[in-house]
Chains A and B, each alone.
Chain A
Amino acid sequence: MRTKWKRTLLTLVAGSLVVSVAACSEEGADPGSGVNLDGKKTASMADYKAGAQFKATEPVDVGVLYLDQSHYPIKDDWLLWKEITQRTNVTIKPTVVPYSDYDQKRGLLISSGDAPTIISKTYPGQEEQFVSSGAILPVSDYIDLMPHFKDKVERWKLQPELNTLRQEDGKFYVLPGMHEKVWQDYTLAFRTDELKRLNLEAPKDWDEVYTVLKAIKAANPDSYPLSDRFEAKSILNYAGQTFGTQAGWGYVRNTIWNESAQKYEFTGATPEYKELIEYFHKLVAEGLMDPESFTQKDDAAIQKFASGKSFAISSNAQNIVNDYRPNVSKIPGATVAKIPLPAGPKGNVIRGSRLESGLMVSAKAVESDKFVATMQFIDWLWYSDEAQEFTKWGVKGTTYDKDSSGKRTLKPEVAFGGMNVGAPKNLQRDFGFQGGVFYYGGATELLQSMFTEEEVAFQKTMADKKVEALPPPAPLNEDERERAALLESPLKDFVTQSTLQFILGQRDLSTWDAYVKELEAKGSNDLVELVNGAHKRYKEKNG
């Protein structure tokens, strides 16, 4: 319901975008790739390079679209603001938008031409709807102003990932958050005491998951051993990658790259997708997985797990600590742990991008005489190692200490996550660090520096996994995007709906061929053709 409503709004926004911003894009001439930065260097540093501390030569104000989370509401007196200004001579002027409706307000502000300079918290792909309006800066033209960004791309070999961001004009419009390694957070969590009681090993692949669930079912005939949350979109996502397909949260586009055939195919019609559906259908049909997993609210799933009615549930590192452990504590001897992501028919693989939510820059910024300084500031605050440590841990000596081996510890009076529980101050709420707008991605060492030992051990097992290659870029032009948009949603809805029917047994798997025919009737082939055409064109143009 909510997404439908959102989609309608987005369509509205996108519609009025064309009208309302067309005028703006005519005024601000397209900077092109040969950019002239004369007269835009006020306050910038002439010798700014990787490893350098950025400090504007005169005070600069930068507007930031700020996503406000209710569990650490924004405060003016955060040390974060003070420290940023002190270090960089830049004062951030936040436009505060509640998390609940961030996407909508972002669309509104961009469309009405009133977006602040930095539009934060934008996931790769979300920028596409704004590209044709000309309201967003093609940041790839200005990467030379960002030495830390370039340095990370080079050191972590992120170029292939960056290429996936390119639009039809070969440029990209979002500065993504970047991880050093692929980070797989979600997997299944099990009641380990039950596994132990039944003499079961933690399953290593999906076949073993099946046998383990079966054994739990045998011992607890009245239970559904697996009753999942996230409407099962999480488990379909992480299981899907090991089956060589995309499902659940991972089903963003309808097309998937087939490496051996070197072309895009329709995801929901591939044999891999069918195999995944068959697997989950088997779980549901044999009573191993709660059919409500696909529809129930998260709270209901947590309740079942916490009251011992189910024994497995999807989890990330926080869910374990926040949702499961405290709530199962009522059951004597109950223990919970994440199992390493099971391997699938595709092998011991994970699929994923190292790109994270990032930021867009308003096209108006380039008209400012402080444009270069602004880009240098963005580069330092979001991409330098120093600033990433700063936005995550705070100020050395004030919020945390670092010993000679590089190990960081929070000051005893500062609490965060599971650290220093009960301390009077909170790193996030009282100091502003660890905020989703400023901190994400970064080096693996930094990322894991706040993990529990358990989670670090889990991540070690994940590091052995083979990371699947990324699909090549296939950016659509405006006309194609419009046609694709008409096809994408109905197809996706139909696939989602049919997936559910197949898994729950409401539709028989023997009708698979008929289902594929129905997809074709809804234009699946046309869509695949569009994407393959775009891929071919991109390849010819950019090699």
Chain B
Amino acid sequence: MVTTDPTLLMERIDKPVGARRTSLDDSRGYRVFRVVNVVVLLGVVAVTLYPFVNIVAQSFSSELYIRTGQVNLVPRGFNLDTYKLVASDSAFWNSYLNTVVYTVTATAISIVLTTIYAYVLSKHRLKGRGLLVGIAVFTMFFNGGLIPNYVLVNGLGMTNTIWAIVLPNAISVFNLLVMKAFFESLPAELEEAAAIDGLNTYGILLRIVLPLSKAVLATMILFYAVANWNSWFQAFLYLDRADLFPVTVYLRNMIAGATSATSVGAVETNAVAISANIKAVTMVLTVLPIVAVYPFIQRYFVSGVMLGAVKQ
């Protein structure tokens, strides 16, 4: 167990380590900061990690232990039956597959559209650039509202198709602005040199700019993919068939059904509460891909969030 007791940590740090006491890193104020920092961050880790570990532990536990509140960090009454049960539910895998298809398609569309838009906006010589930026930013603050949006999407014949999920909101204005700032930070001389060597605009974008933008692209992919994976509202609005639902709608319905089938005084003749471990298993399986992928793109993510923060 890592000690989180600040006084202990202080003692350890206060002991002189060799002769290196001159650098800025070792100043007293900085050392105090480091201790506080470690303590606070450990607290944050505990607070964020506990619910997650708890759900994982629940997913391997038997219902009785969960109901009596005995499951914390370690599974009690270990069982894999629930995993088998959920894994044998075709509706779950069907919606899971839907989520994968929606996420991949939506992310691809979003990346292409955002890149094109951002690249155009990064060129200061473009006439009407301010207007194009304004149009995008406008949507951050104002939108048509729920019902007009629904009428629009329905009028375009997109309800009950994948397009209702992947096309509306394909461009996130926030991501657009981050990308625009990144492109602006690329040295113009590179592009000029490429132009002299005979590349046209598309060639410059595809062969020069994009290969240099892997960090921002990875970040954007992560942003879009996570957002699409987690999104449920559009699917809920525009899809009327259970076989089209993504896994988030499935999960949301399951959790809502389990907690409130018996409330509201509703007279359900046989409101079987979904057992707590089924809920846990479904949650674990739903977040699994994101959790699995995250560590690998995390380094891009860390560098990516700083992108465009400083302009040269």
**Cβ–Cβ < 8 Å partners of A96 in chain B:** 240-242, 245
A324 CB to nearest chain B CB (Å): 10
B259-276 to A contact mask, C-beta < 8 Å, 1/0: 101111111111111101
Of B26-34, B147-155, B188-196, B287-295, the one contacting chain A is B147-155
**Cβ–Cβ < 8 Å partners of A105 in chain B:** 236-237
Nearest-neighbor residue (CB-CB) of B253 within chain A: A98
> At the interface, yes or no: B186 with Cβ under 8 Å from chain A?
no
Nearest-neighbor residue (CB-CB) of A63 within chain B: B240
A416 touches B270 (CB 8 A): yes
A-facing residues in B225-257 (Cβ within 8 Å): 236-237, 240-242, 245, 249-250, 252-257
A330 touches B64 (CB 8 A): yes
> At the interface, yes or no: A306 with Cβ under 8 Å from chain B?
yes
Q: A16-B147, A434-B269, A439-B269 are in contact. Are A97 and B240 (CB under 8 A)?
A: yes
B146 touches A12 (CB 8 A): yes
> At the interface, yes or no: A237 with Cβ under 8 Å from chain B?
yes
**Cβ–Cβ < 8 Å partners of A71 in chain B:** 257, 261, 271-274
A69 touches B257 (CB 8 A): yes
Instruction: Sort chain A's interface into a size bin.
Output: 35 or more
A302 touches B267 (CB 8 A): no
The interface size of chain B toward A, counting residues with CB under 8 Å, comes to 44
Question: A392 CA to B241 CA in the complex, in Å?
Answer: 24
A333-370 to B contact mask, C-beta < 8 Å, 1/0: 00000000000000000000000110000000000000
B61 CB to nearest chain A CB (Å): 14
A302 touches B254 (CB 8 A): no
Question: A269 CA to B116 CA in the complex, in Å?
Answer: 64
B269 touches A440 (CB 8 A): yes
Question: A113 CA to B154 CA in the complex, in Å?
Answer: 11
A7 CB to nearest chain B CB (Å): 14
- Of A100, A183, A326, A417, most buried by chain B (CB within 10 Å of CB) is A100
Residues of B within 8 A of A (CB): 63-64, 67-69, 91, 145-148, 150-151, 154, 236-237, 240-242, 245, 249-250, 252-259, 261-274, 276
Residues of A within 8 A of B (CB): 9, 12-13, 16-17, 20, 68-71, 73-74, 94-101, 105, 108, 111-114, 183, 185-186, 230, 233-234, 237, 249-250, 298-300, 302-303, 306-307, 316, 318-319, 322-323, 326-327, 329-330, 356-357, 392, 416-417, 428, 434, 436, 439-440, 450
Closest 6 pairs between A and B when the two form their complex, measured CB to CB: A100-B256, A98-B253, A303-B69, A70-B254, A70-B257, A95-B240
> Given A234-B265, A357-B267, A440-B267, 13 other A-B contacts at CB below 8 A?
A13-B146, A70-B274, A94-B240, A108-B237, A112-B154, A186-B265, A250-B265, A298-B259, A322-B273, A330-B64, A330-B68, A356-B267, A417-B270
